[in-house]
C-alpha cells in the first residue's frame, strides 16, 4: 500500500510547466512562458487538500476451497469518499485464470491444485491532485486436486471380513456366481439350479461369492518433484491419489494416505466422503518444503492394517523410497508402485559416447535395475504415461499383481 502522492495528471502538468519555463530561461525566448501558463493555471485550480484517509479495500471470495478447474467469485469493494475516480484491477496468480464479470467482480478459475493466493487486487484512487494505490493480496485458496473417474480395479487377494462391494474368494451372500453344490435342508428354493438338478437327477443349488470391503493405503512420494509445471511427479501423484481415494471411498472401502517427504505425514484408513476431504487436505501439505530427513521405515502400524492394499505413487528417484517399499513388503502387505516420472532427462546433443550421454545411459540402467529389484520382491511397477488414464494403467495389473 502506498500513501497519497501527486497524481499522474498533476505530474504531467507540472512537468510541462517546468520544461516550458526552463526553455524560456535558457533560450531567452520570453514567449515560451505562454506554454507554461496553461499547465500552471490548470494546476492552480486542482483541489489541493490531501484526503485524510487511505482507500479502504474489502475483498470477498465466494469460497475458500474448491476443486481444480472450478470457479470462485471474487468481489472487491472500495470505500474512498474523497475519490474522483476509482480504478480496480485484478492481477491473477500464474496458477489461476480470471475473467471480469462486472466492475469489481471476477470469476477465478483455479487451474492448479495447491494452497495459494489466486492473485492481487490493485486499486488506484484519484482525488484532486492526489492519487493513492493499494494492493491487496487475496487470502489463500485451497484447491483440491481433481479426481479423475476411476474404477476400484485393484483388489487384494485376501479381503477383510467386512461387508463391501468387492467379490471375495469365500462363499457368502453376494451376487456373483461362485459354484454349485448339492442341496441341503435349509437352502432357499430360489438358489436351486434347475438345469443341473435335472441333468444330474438330484437337487443342486447355486453358491455365491461373498461381497467384502478392502482397505487401501495410498503412499505419495514427495521427496522428489521433477517435470514441467502442472505435470510434475507430485502433480501426477496428487491426481492419482485423489482418483483412487474417490473410487474406493465410493464403494464403501476404507482409504488412508501416507506422504513420504519432510516430516512423515499419515492418515489412517477410514470410510466416507469426509475422509476424501481429509486426504485432499493432507495432499495440500505435501508440497511444503521441509528440511527433515524422514525415517521411512517407521510408518506407523495403525496406518497399515493387515491385508491393506498399498499403492505407491513415486518417480523412484530416491533410494529412501526403496527402503520404505522393502519395509512394506516385510510386513506382508501387497504393494503396487505407479511410476510418476513421465519425462526423463533430455538426451545429450553431444557425441554418442560423451560423458553426458554415458550418464544418461547409466541412469536408465539404474532405473531398470530398481524395477527388476522391485519385481523380485513381488512389487509390480506400472508406468503412468502422458496420454494414459489411471484406470487403464491399473487395468493392466488387476488381481494378479497384488499377492501378499
Partner 1 sequence: MNRARLVLGLLAVGLPPVLGPAWTIAVASFGALAVVAAAWPWRRRHAAVSIAVGAAIVTCAFSHAGIPALAAEGVLILAYVLVNHAVFPARQFIAGVVATLVVAGALTVHPGVSAWLTGIGLAAAVAAFGVAVPSRRR
| C-alpha cell recorded at residue 55 | 482507500
Helix (H, G, I), strand (E, B) or coil at 271: coil
How does DSSP classify residue 228?
Answer: S
How would DSSP label each residue in 64-111? SEEETT-EEEEEEEEE-TT-SEEEEEEEE-TTEEEEEEETTEEEEEE-
**Is residue 11 near partner 1 by the rule CB under 8 A?**
yes
User: Which among 65, 150, 151 has a CA at the least distance from the CA of 110?
Assistant: 65
The correct pick among 1, 79, 84, 297 for binding partner 1 (CB under 8 A) is 84
The correct pick among 106, 130, 144, 384 for binding partner 1 (CB under 8 A) is 130
**Is residue 236 near partner 1 by the rule CB under 8 A?**
no
The span from the CA of 70 to the CA of 111, in Å, is: 8
User: Considering the complex, what minimum distance in angstroms separates the CB of residue 105 from partner 1?
Assistant: 20
Nearer of residues 19 and 341 to partner 1, judged by Cβ: 19
Question: Total residues contacting partner 1 (rule CB under 8 A)?
Answer: 50
**Is residue 127 near partner 1 by the rule CB under 8 A?**
no
Site string for partner 1, 270-299 (x = CB under 8 A): ------------------------------
**Is residue 4 near partner 1 by the rule CB under 8 A?**
yes
**Is residue 14 near partner 1 by the rule CB under 8 A?**
yes
**Is residue 6 near partner 1 by the rule CB under 8 A?**
yes
| C-alpha cell recorded at residue 224 | 522428489
Helix (H, G, I), strand (E, B) or coil at 148: coil
| C-alpha cell recorded at residue 239 | 491426481
The span from the CA of 2 to the CA of 282, in Å, is: 38
User: Considering the complex, what minimum distance in angstroms separates the CB of residue 123 from partner 1?
Assistant: 15
**Is residue 5 near partner 1 by the rule CB under 8 A?**
yes
User: Considering the complex, what minimum distance in angstroms separates the CB of residue 27 from partner 1?
Assistant: 5
The span from the CA of 293 to the CA of 266, in Å, is: 16
**Is residue 1 near partner 1 by the rule CB under 8 A?**
no
Q: Which of residues 15-44 bind partner 1 (CB under 8 A)?
A: 15-44
User: Considering the complex, what minimum distance in angstroms separates the CB of residue 131 from partner 1?
Assistant: 10
| C-alpha cell recorded at residue 210 | 461373498
Nearer of residues 36 and 303 to partner 1, judged by Cβ: 36
**Is residue 97 near partner 1 by the rule CB under 8 A?**
no
User: Considering the complex, what minimum distance in angstroms separates the CB of residue 91 from partner 1?
Assistant: 12
| C-alpha cell recorded at residue 134 | 493499494
SS3 content of the chain, % helix, strand, coil (to 5): 30, 30, 35
- For partner 1, the binding residues (CB under 8 A) are 3-6, 8-46, 48, 50, 84-85, 126, 129-130
Amino acid at each position: 500500500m502506498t500513501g497519497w502522492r501527486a497524481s499522474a495528471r498533476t505530474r504531467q502538468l507540472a512537468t510541462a510547466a517546468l520544461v516550458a519555463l526552463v526553455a524560456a530561461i535558457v533560450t531567452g525566448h520570453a514567449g515560451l512562458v505562454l506554454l507554461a501558463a496553461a499547465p500552471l493555471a490548470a494546476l492552480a485550480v486542482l483541489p489541493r487538500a490531501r484526503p485524510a484517509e487511505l482507500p479502504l479495500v474489502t475483498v470477498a471470495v465466494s469460497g475458500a476451497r474448491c476443486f481444480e478447474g472450478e470457479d470462485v467469485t471474487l468481489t472487491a469493494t472500495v470505500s474512498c469518499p474523497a475519490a474522483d475516480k476509482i480504478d480496480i484491477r485484478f492481477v491473477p496468480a500464474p496458477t489461476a485464470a480470471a475473467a471480469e464479470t462486472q466492475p469489481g467482480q471476477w470469476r477465478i478459475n483455479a487451474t492448479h491444485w495447491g494452497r495459494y493466493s489466486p492473485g492481487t487486487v490493485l486499486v488506484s484512487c484519484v482525488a484532486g491532485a492526489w492519487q493513492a494505490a493499494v494492493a491487496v493480496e487475496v487470502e489463500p485458496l485451497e484447491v483440491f486436486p481433481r479426481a479423475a473417474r476411476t474404477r476400484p480395479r485393484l483388489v487384494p487377494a485376501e479381503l477383510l471380513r467386512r461387508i463391501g462391494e468387492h467379490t471375495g474368494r469365500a462363499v457368502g451372500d453376494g451376487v456373483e456366481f461362485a459354484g454349485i453344490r448339492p442341496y441341503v435342508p435349509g437352502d432357499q428354493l430360489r438358489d436351486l439350479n434347475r438345469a443341473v438338478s435335472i441333468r444330474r437327477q438330484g437337487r443342486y443349488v447355486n453358491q455365491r461369492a461373498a461381497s467384502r470391503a478392502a482397505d487401501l493405503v495410498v503412499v505419495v512420494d514427495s521427496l522428489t518433484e521433477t517435470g514441467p509445471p502442472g505435470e510434475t511427479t507430485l502433480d501426477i501423484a496428487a491426481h492419482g491419489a485423489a482418483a483412487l481415494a474417490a473410487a474406493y471411498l465410493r464403494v464403501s472401502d476404507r482409504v488412508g494416505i501416507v506422504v513420504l517427504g519432510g516430516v512423515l505425514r499419515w492418515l489412517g484408513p477410514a470410510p466416507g466422503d469426509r475422509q476424501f476431504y481429509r486426504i485432499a487436505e493432507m495432499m495440500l501439505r505435501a508440497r511444503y518444503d521441509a528440511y527433515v530427513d524422514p525415517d521411512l521405515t517407521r510408518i506407523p502400524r495403525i496406518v497399515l492394517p493387515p491385508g491393506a492394499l498399498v499403492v505407491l505413487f513415486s518417480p523412484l528417484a530416491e533410494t529412501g523410497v526403496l527402503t520404505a517399499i522393502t519395509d512394506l513388503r516385510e510386513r506382508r502387505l501387497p504393494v503396487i508402485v505407479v511410476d510418476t516420472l513421465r519425462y526423463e532427462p533430455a538426451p545429450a546433443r553431444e557425441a554418442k559416447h560423451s560423458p553426458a550421454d554415458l550418464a544418461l545411459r547409466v541412469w536408465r540402467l539404474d532405473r531398470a535395475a530398481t524395477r527388476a529389484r522391485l519385481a523380485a520382491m513381488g512389487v509390480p511397477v506400472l508406468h503412468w504415461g502422458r496420454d494414459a488414464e489411471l484406470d487403464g494403467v491399473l487395468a493392466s495389473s488387476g488381481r494378479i499383481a497384488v499377492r501378499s
